[in-house]
Each structure stands twice: as structure tokens, then as C-alpha cells.
Amino acid sequence: MTARAFLVRGLLIGLLSGFATFLVAHQVGEPHVETAIALEEAASADDPTATETAHSHDDEGTTVSRQHQRTWGLLTGSLAVGVAVGGLVALVAASVVGRIGRLSPGQSTALVSLIGFVSVALVPFLKYPATPPAVGSGDTIGDRTSYYFGFVLISVAFAAFSSLLAIRLLDEIGTYGAVLASAGVYVVAVVVAGRMMPTVNEIGDFPADVLWYFRRASLLTLATLWAVIGIGLTGLIGRLHRHERGLADRRELAASL
């Protein structure tokens, strides 16, 4: 049960999760991206004042064509993100083994994955959801990116603090009370932080149904990434733990004879 053993399994399961994420993004998300691009180009064609700024996503001067963006580009990005997230989750899971009450390594890995999904993916998405092409001004993309990653850092920081609080309270008020108290602290903290963070509202007259379908597909893609990592890594670590425990039991039995 070494950090290297966790990391190797995290990288492998991250590679698998990246491929699964690509399949979901390509089959579920890309059709809505294509719809949004079509709406953007149609709006540019109908607006005489936008002729200078209008562009096609398949212009001859484009470094990467739209066809490559939605296939090899999407696959490469999905695999890279999957491997990175899988490795990070594995290292965090290795660092907390034996430090979260009586949880086994597999159980603590599952908990780390769940907390990671909520704090890194779900909560920031609720504050700053993904937007398709034709939504948002290009002049504010830097600010919008900063807001998003800033809120991710805030969410992760309060998730870590709440987890440490739960561990400290575990022996004093029991599992139920510790989980309830720490979850309450996290929820209150991110709600207050979310209220204080700037609000982005640049939707304009973009069709609400297309926006909803795109954001639903984006959330499903994120959930796929984290679900495969959480379920797969939990299974691999649980199997490793059972194997190591079996070896230790056999050695102990052999030493006692």
C-alpha cells in the first residue's frame, strides 16, 4: 500500500476515464456544440455590422480544423485531463489512508473521489456553468476564466477544511454528527463565497433549450470522468488492500507455527 501503487493505478484508471469521457462528450455534447456554432454563424450572417468580426470555425487559416477539434483534439484533451485527475485523486487517497476513522483504503478512496467531484466539478459548475459557442463576449473570457478557477480554489479549500473538521470531531460527536457539521460548514461557506463572487450573465437571446441541453451534457461529461475514476480506483485499491492483508495474514500464520 505505497503511494507509488496508488499512483500507478490512478494513472491507469485515469486513462480509462479519459476515454469514457471522450465517448460521452463526443456523442452527447458535440451535437449541441454544432448547434451552437450553427446559430453563431447564422447570427453573424444576418447581422451586417458583424461582417468584420464574423468567422467560420472551419476557416482555411484555422490551425486546427473543426473536424479535428471534435475528434482527435477532444480525445487528446480528455485523455490528458483523465490521467491528471486520476493521478491527483490517487495521491490524495494515498495520503489519507488510515487517517479517516476506521475506513478501509478502498472506502477512503471512494470518499476522496466523492469530495473531489463535489468540490472540484459540481459546486463550481453550479456557480459558473459551461457555455457553448456564441454565448459570452470574447472581451470578458479572461475575467470569466479567472472567476471560475478562483471559485474552484475556494471550493477545494473549504472542502479540505471541512474534511479536517470532520476528522477532529469524529471521536467527540460520532460519525453522524461530524459529517453533518462538516457538510454544513462547507455548504454555508461556498454559498457565502458564491454570493460574493461576481455573477456572469452574457446569455443574451441565445435559445434557452439549446443552452440547457449543452449544460446538461457538460455536467454529464464531468460526472462520467469522476465516476469512472472513483469507481475504478476504489475497486483497484480495495483489491490491493485485500491482497496485502491476505499476504500479511499468511505470514503471521507461518510465523506462529
Measure the CA dihedral 9/15/21/26, to 10°: -170
Distance between CA atoms of 125 and 117, rounded to whole angstroms? 11
Claim to verify: residue 110 and residue 214 sit in the same structural domain? yes
In this prediction, residue 241 carries a pLDDT of 83
In this prediction, residue 154 carries a pLDDT of 94
Claim to verify: residue 9 and residue 98 sit in the same structural domain? yes
In this prediction, residue 50 carries a pLDDT of 47
Quote the number of domains for the chain: 2
Is 190 within 8 Å of 123 (Cβ atoms)? yes
Q: Give residue 242's Cα distance to chain centre.
A: 29
Claim to verify: residue 157 and residue 73 sit in the same structural domain? no
- Own/partner long-range contacts of 177-185 (Cβ < 8 Å, ≥24 apart): 185/158, 185/161
Claim to verify: residue 90 and residue 184 sit in the same structural domain? no
Residue 19: pLDDT above 90?
yes
Claim to verify: residue 111 and residue 21 sit in the same structural domain? yes
Residue 151: pLDDT above 90?
yes
Q: Give residue 125's Cα distance to chain centre.
A: 9
Claim to verify: residue 12 and residue 108 sit in the same structural domain? yes
Residue 219: pLDDT band (50, 70, 90) is: very high
Residue 53: pLDDT above 50?
no
Claim to verify: residue 100 and residue 28 sit in the same structural domain? yes
Residue 250: pLDDT band (50, 70, 90) is: confident
In this prediction, residue 99 carries a pLDDT of 79
In this prediction, residue 55 carries a pLDDT of 46
The arithmetic mean of pLDDT across residues 154-159, rounded, is 94
Backbone angles phi, psi at 52, to 5 degrees: -75, -30
Which of 25, 6, 5, 29 has its CA nearest to residue 17?
A: 25
Backbone angles phi, psi at 29, to 5 degrees: -85, -40
Claim to verify: residue 29 and residue 99 sit in the same structural domain? yes
Claim to verify: residue 102 and residue 26 sit in the same structural domain? yes
Select the more confidently predicted residue: 1 or 119: 119
Q: Which of 161, 186, 202 is the last residue of a domain?
A: 202
Residue 45: pLDDT above 90?
no
Q: Domain limits at 193? A: 150-202
Q: What value does the mean pLDDT of the chain take?
A: 83
The tens digit of pLDDT for each residue in 175-211 reads 888 889 999 999 999 999 999 988 877 777 778 888 8
Claim to verify: residue 25 and residue 124 sit in the same structural domain? yes
* b/e per residue 152-178 (b: at least 16 CB within 10 A): bebbbebbeebbebbeebbeeeeeeeb
The tens digit of pLDDT for each residue in 220-235 reads 999 999 999 999 999 9
Instruction: Kindly report the pTM of this predicted structure.
Output: 0.83
Residue 52: pLDDT above 50?
no
In this prediction, residue 54 carries a pLDDT of 43
Which of 236, 183, 226 has its CA nearest to residue 85?
A: 226
Question: What percent of the chain is predicted at pLDDT more than 70?
Answer: 85
Residue 257: pLDDT band (50, 70, 90) is: low
The tens digit of pLDDT for each residue in 55-76 reads 445 545 556 676 767 678 888 9
The arithmetic mean of pLDDT across residues 88-92, rounded, is 94
The arithmetic mean of pLDDT across residues 86-108, rounded, is 87
Angle at 217 between CA 28 and CA 64, to 5 degrees: 65
